[in-house]
Amino acid sequence: MKIIAYGIRDDEKPYLDKWSEENPDVEVASTGELLDDSTVDQAKGADGVVTYQQKPYTASVLDKLGSFGIKYLSLRNVGVDNIDADAAKRNGIQVTNVPAYSPEAIAEFTVTQLMRLLRRTNTFDRKQANGDLRWAPDIADELNQMTVGVFATGRIGRAAMRIYKGFGAKVIAYDIYHNPELEKEGVYVDTPEELYAQSDVLSLHAPATKENEHMINDKTIAQMKDGVYILNPARGALVDTDALIRGLDSGKIGGAALDTYENEVGIFNTDFGSFDKISDERLKNLMKRENVLVSPHIAFYTKRAARNMVYFAMDANKSLINTGKSDKLVEL
């Protein structure tokens, strides 16, 4: 049995080596390169492929895997929206993901960024760097006095809710699928519009689907409270960036924390050498603002998460090869 792992980062390599030691019946090959037309031939002779990337898994790549007789593709992340579903089905490729490598990591980071916004840390860091140790006029808000609206109550959304509650915030939620325990608590509102209208903070944890694309837009922003804070650790496609900028310019949006960005592929996790060399002007517009926190898709990035992403994906791929089954199969 042979599995090839693509896109292996330096921080993942020790976990992959450890998994390989614990599974001597599996030949493990790995590369730091992503899975695309220029690298897919490396998979020839393998029984399964494990990968993680934000760039698309194209039809040509999946067709090539199919021609090699590879039927098992295991992602080391949650989202499968970058897979050409028709091509995967055409080639009989089964796909698994890692639905919960560390919901707490993403939830903790999201709340951390909110607290930085509320306590104006960007502003005070700038002031202090310039020798200004005055308080005014940058007085803060308190989370315990606010209503947080959580959009989507999957594992990450629920983990974030627990932390928000720990700070004493009132927490409400919207999801088309109601969690039974949260249903008992009575936290759900009936419509997104109700969530927008009641929330001082909007915490987004929804997947990137056609229905959710640009769900944060001029129309929905207009339905929100004045001075709303918008947090997006989920998917960049949820937010219409131009509408977000207009909302920030008008003051309708009080601040935003963005760990994802709709045009992040090819930009995030890249060293440009200097701020001026970053190629995306809209992104730089956001990064320059003291009431906006941009982070390069790092909410998940913890040791525990990196370990789980490797182990869960490798275990799933091995299970598929051995049995044709996995508890992490995804329906495309």
- Give catalytic residues, as residue numbers: 235, 264, 297
Closest-CA residue to 219 (of 236, 244, 198)? 244
Rounded Cα distance between 63 and 291, Å, is: 46
Q: Does 137 sit behind a cis peptide bond, omega within 30 degrees of 0 on the bond before it?
A: yes
CB 190 within 8 A of CB 166: no
Can you tell me whether residue 278 is helix, strand or coil?
coil
Strand bridging mode 94-96 / 329-330? antiparallel
Beta strand 253-258 with 27-30: parallel, antiparallel or unpaired?
A: unpaired
Which parts of the chain fold into alpha helices (H)?
13-22, 59-67, 85-90, 103-118, 121-129, 155-166, 180-185, 192-198, 218-222, 241-250, 281-287, 303-323
Sign, CA dihedral 250-143-264-86, equals negative
CB atoms within 10 A of CB 273: 8
Rounded to 5 degrees, φ, ψ at 253 are -100, 125
Separation between Cα atoms, residue 180 and residue 153, nearest integer Å: 11
